[in-house]
Amino acid sequence: MRSDIIVQKYGGSSVADPERIRNVARRVSAAYERRSPRIVVVVSAMGKTTDQLIALAHQITPHPDPRELDLLLSTGEIVSIALLAMALRDLGHEAISLTGYQAGIRTESRYGAARILDVDPMRIRRELERGRIVIVAGFQGFTEEFDVTTLGRGGSDTTAVALAAALEASACEIYTDVDGVFTADPRIVPEARQLQDISYEEMLELASQGAKVMAARAVELGELFDQPILVASSFSDRPGTLIHRGVSMEKGNKVRGIAHDVNVGKVTIVGVPDRPGIAAQVFGPLAEAGISVDVIVQNTGQHGKTDLSYSVAKGDLSKAEALTREVAKAIGAEAVTTAGDLGKVSIVGSGMQSAPGYAARMFEALYRAGINIEMITTSEIRITCIVAADRVPDAVRSLHAAFELETRDNP
Residues lying near ligand ASP in the complex (CB under 6 A) are found at 11-12, 44-45, 50, 76, 138-139, 153-157
Type and span of the H or E element at 267: strand 257-273
> Could you give the residue ranges of the DSSP H alpha helices within 187-277?
200-208, 216-224
Please, what is the minimum distance in Å from the beta carbon of residue 157 to ligand ASP?
A: 6
Q: What's the CA gap between 149 and 258, in Å, rounded?
A: 33
Coil vs helix vs strand at 34: helix
Name the DSSP class of 374. Answer: -
Say which entry of Mg ion, ligand ASP, none residue 227 contacts (CB below 5 to 8 A, set by partner kind): none
Looking at the Cβ atoms of 29 and 80, the one nearer to ligand ASP is: 80
Say which entry of ligand ASP, Mg ion, none residue 76 contacts (CB below 5 to 8 A, set by partner kind): ligand ASP
Kindly write out the interface string for residues 29-48 of this chain, putting x where it contacts Mg ion by CB under 5 A and - elsewhere: ---------------x----
Please, what is the minimum distance in Å from the beta carbon of residue 137 to ligand ASP?
A: 10
260 beta partners? 345
Looking at the Cβ atoms of 154 and 343, the one nearer to ligand ASP is: 154
Say which entry of ligand ASP, Mg ion, none residue 153 contacts (CB below 5 to 8 A, set by partner kind): ligand ASP
Looking at the Cβ atoms of 212 and 305, the one nearer to Mg ion is: 212
Please, what is the minimum distance in Å from the beta carbon of residue 44 to Mg ion?
A: 4
Q: Which of 286, 285, 307, 289 is nearest to 298 (CA)?
A: 307
Q: Does 12 bind Mg ion (CB under 5 A)?
A: yes
Please, what is the minimum distance in Å from the beta carbon of residue 222 to ligand ASP?
A: 15
Please, what is the minimum distance in Å from the beta carbon of residue 12 to Mg ion?
A: 3
Please, what is the minimum distance in Å from the beta carbon of residue 138 to Mg ion?
A: 8
Compute the Cα dihedral for 12, 16, 20, 26 and give only its sign: positive
Q: What's the CA gap between 79 and 310, in Å, rounded?
A: 41
Q: Which of 2, 40, 348 is nearest to 200 (CA)?
A: 348
H helix and E strand count, the chain: 11, 18
Looking at the Cβ atoms of 215 and 348, the one nearer to Mg ion is: 215
Say which entry of ligand ASP, Mg ion, none residue 222 contacts (CB below 5 to 8 A, set by partner kind): none
Name the DSSP class of 386. Answer: E
Select the residue whose beta carbon is closest to Mg ion and give its number. 12
Looking at the Cβ atoms of 44 and 208, the one nearer to Mg ion is: 44
Kindly write out the interface string for residues 44-73 of this chain, putting x where it contacts Mg ion by CB under 5 A and - elsewhere: x-----------------------------
Beta strands in 170-238 (DSSP E): 171-176, 197-199, 229-233
Q: What's the CA gap between 219 and 383, in Å, rounded?
A: 20
Q: What's the CA gap between 255 and 389, in Å, rounded?
A: 23
Query: Which residues contact Mg ion (rule: CB under 5 A)?
Result: 12, 44
